[in-house]
Structure 1
Amino acid sequence: MNEFPVVLVINCGSSSIKFSVLDVATCDVLMAGIADGMNTENAFLSINGDKPINLSHSNYEDALKAIAFELEKRDLTDSVALIGHRIAHGGELFTQSVIITDEIIDNIRRVSPLAPLHNYANLSGIDAARHLFPAVRQVAVFDTSFHQTLAPEAYLYGLPWEYFSSLGVRRYGFHGTSHRYVSRRAYELLDLGEKISGLIVAHLGNGASICAVRNGQSVDTSMGMTPLEGLMMGTRSGVGAFGAMAWSAQDAGPPVSDLERGGRSASGSRG
């Protein structure tokens, strides 16, 4: 058994599980990997970039069992003191990270229609981890919570009021965990005071967003109600496509589901 406690961090996506094991004292990464291709014959598990392990037709619990086995092989299982789950969308219910309970799971499920592709996968990961590690405390970290400090003038769209009051249509923002970490590290490395400094933070990858941070809090961000908005990205349309997509849906145009899929996976640089 490793004498030092470790944290298992899990990010369950729509078809993959990314994970890391970190030493609590040093934050050193002791183990990291990905289980990809969930529920397909090509599913695999890769640890620290080593040769992939076949996980054909594995679901989330099967994949987490395989990850737990790899932890056991490295004498890390009994050292897991905490499991952290990245949750894509917390809606307006979650303004900070929370310890996972049955009530928290119910509330995550309530807001999951806002991000069905990701949140339901996140919940599958939570269910599997609670089953495999029943004695370990687990925490949900929300990608949207950092942006819950936005003022109404930043999170409201220029749409009829009832869209917000009845449907909850508003800017939520994403990549919050990244923006929070980068802004705090910038304050530290540049020796800036949070109370007197403003920052523009960029999260750049296949998905990309920018965030304005003042006094250590998010005050504006490029992504909106969904991660499709804002900057043009690898496969996402970004801002400015609403009118074109609405026009495309007229008459015998493609259904809204096809337009959404196109804006999410066939637009941006790929388009």
Structure 2
Amino acid sequence: MPELPEVETVRRGLQPLMEGASITRLDLRRPDLRFPFPPDFAMRLQGRRIDALARRAKYLLMHLDDGSVVIAHLGMSGSFRIEQESETDQPGAFHHPRSKDQKHDHVVFHLSRPEGEAQVIFNDPRRFGFMLLAEADTLTAHPLLADLGVEPTGNALDGALLSDMLRNKKTPLKSALLDQHLIAGLGNIYVCEALWRAALSPKRLAGTIAGKPGKETVRSRRLAEAIRTVIADAVAAGGSTLRDHRQADGSLGYFQHSFQVYDQEGSPCARLSCTGVVQRIVQAGRSTFYCPRCQR
């Protein structure tokens, strides 16, 4: 499933085209994806202007001029494709390949802008993605968004906040970091990478890095900084992809070439002072990659 940097890359790729554009027509080529489309979905979007394209965790939020918001999720295999004149772009760069097979084109936004017409096409072979409607003034109370934690971007996530979040938690540190009620949008790849950067074991109890209320510890500060920087680096690199999948501007996502531990089982630890070897273990059904020598 795409992680936050991939979704943010998609948002940035779509934003220049979609913000300010009018939806002249919406084609729904099936009645549902993971969930049925909202009643009269195509009719309600027709003629609306897209005022802003935002993101919360792994959700894309399309704010329309009538106060409604399209909540879109890529699911496991979803992607957006831009078709404009003779050009075709696929915003985002993914760790796993995205489909361009037109038989999986399920939603088509026909857009009008002063510069010309364009189409934004949602393709989803496995149909685990979805599009729902909400109202902007009640968006934060929506069941999908109401209980999400802090974003792992900007300065909101700092050592003191992370310490308070994890105090007295007896779950493994990696499991706690994947809890969307604590940190929104943080996924498996980037938790592994952040823990390596912070030199913390994914197996240690989460509460062991916490300190006094409102106070950071050396470990909580180090981990908060590692989370923020690994997400920022991944977004700057265009997400993670092992295949040639281009962003809207034609550039590629190369962050996968910077993976220090994720998917590096059996490789020497990349930390210069370490002689360890990256291992893979399974935690809560997910692969965890780490160096048992320097991550304590």
Q: TM-score, normalised by structure 2?
A: 0.24
Q: Which structure has the highest helix share of the two?
A: 1
Q: TM-score, normalised by structure 1?
A: 0.25
Higher RCO, Cα 8 Å, sep 6+: 2
